[in-house]
Amino acid sequence: MNSENEIKTIAWIGTGVMGRAMADHLLKAGFQLRIFTRTRAKAEPLLQSGAAWADAPADAAAGADAVISIVGDPKDVRETYFGANGVLSLERPPSLLIDMTTSEPSLAIEIADAARAKGAGSLDAPVSGGDVGARNATLSIMVGGAPDDFERALPMFRAMGRTILHQGDPGAGQHTKMVNQILIATGMIGVCEGLIYAQRAGLDPLRVIESVSTGAAGSWSVSHLGPRMIARDFEPGFYVEHFVKDLGIAVAEAERMGLDLPGLTLGRALYRRVEKAGGGRKGTQALFTALEELAASTSDSA
């Protein structure tokens, strides 16, 4: 058995668009992984690289030094930790539980309290950077939890990300991710509208991006997702349906704090429009299609 502070074996839960690449970085960094995900086929590349398979979160976690989860939504997080075969069904869970899903701050606090009752630490550590950041190990990792647990997790975080900051107590990582999603939602509206304007004005949109991306209007979204919009490449780096979930959490948290955030409300409404049109499994850059339709309908009625 490893000493209390040494992490060698990780139970990894979830191998979606980002999770598989993140787990692969940990394997390459020398960590031993036990994988559970709902669709085993998604884990096959990791299994071929040396990871072991487990049939449930509890099976993956039994005897492991740490758990890292990155699943779909708060319901999946709750099942991962509190379900009948969840991590916290173990009498002795791993000494460090890390949820990297974008989820509810209140659920992060609940997991931290339950983990503490069983002698374990817990971190909420959602990420930003999409599929590109996951593949390149350049994610931004926003962390809530005890400082000692954060220090223990740093070797794992450094294998997956570049900007790694402790934001405060349990739930602080999730609150920081809500800030991130609010910024993205409102910023993406501007990116889409700017490029629609460029097209209507007869400009070369890619050349416009080249000009504006290095000035005050520059952003990750315009540099990385703008060209995808122009190419009509709506393959997911981050699913629309997951972003709608995130914005729903942000709206609920804002309401709980007595905040009226009209940009957030508009962003959520527009992304829900994409989802209702069948774009839930497209990338967030598919917002471009919804704003194209709105722009065209306005033009037709003028």
Spacing of C-alpha 45 from chain mean position: 21
Q: Is residue 176 within 8 Å of residue 142, measured between CB atoms?
A: yes
Q: Which two tokens stand for residue 67?
A: 């758990």
User: Is there a catalytic annotation at residue 177?
Assistant: yes
> Which of 177, 245, 276, 282 is labelled catalytic?
177
Count Cβ atoms below 10 Å from residue 154 Cβ, excluding itself.
13
Percent of the chain as helix, strand, coil, to the nearest 5: 55, 15, 30
Nearest 5°: CA angle at 39, between 88 and 239? 95
- The beta strand positions in the chain, using DSSP E, are 9-13, 32-36, 52-53, 66-69, 96-99, 121-124, 127-128, 139-145, 161-168
User: Cα-flanking dihedrals φ and ψ of residue 285, to 5°?
Assistant: -65, -10
- Rounded to an integer, what distance in angstroms lies between the CA atom of residue 55 and that of residue 11? 12
- The beta strand positions in 78-227, using DSSP E, are 96-99, 121-124, 127-128, 139-145, 161-168
- Rounded to an integer, what distance in angstroms lies between the CA atom of residue 23 and that of residue 32? 10
Nearest 5°: CA angle at 88, between 243 and 49? 65
**Could you list the active site residues?**
177
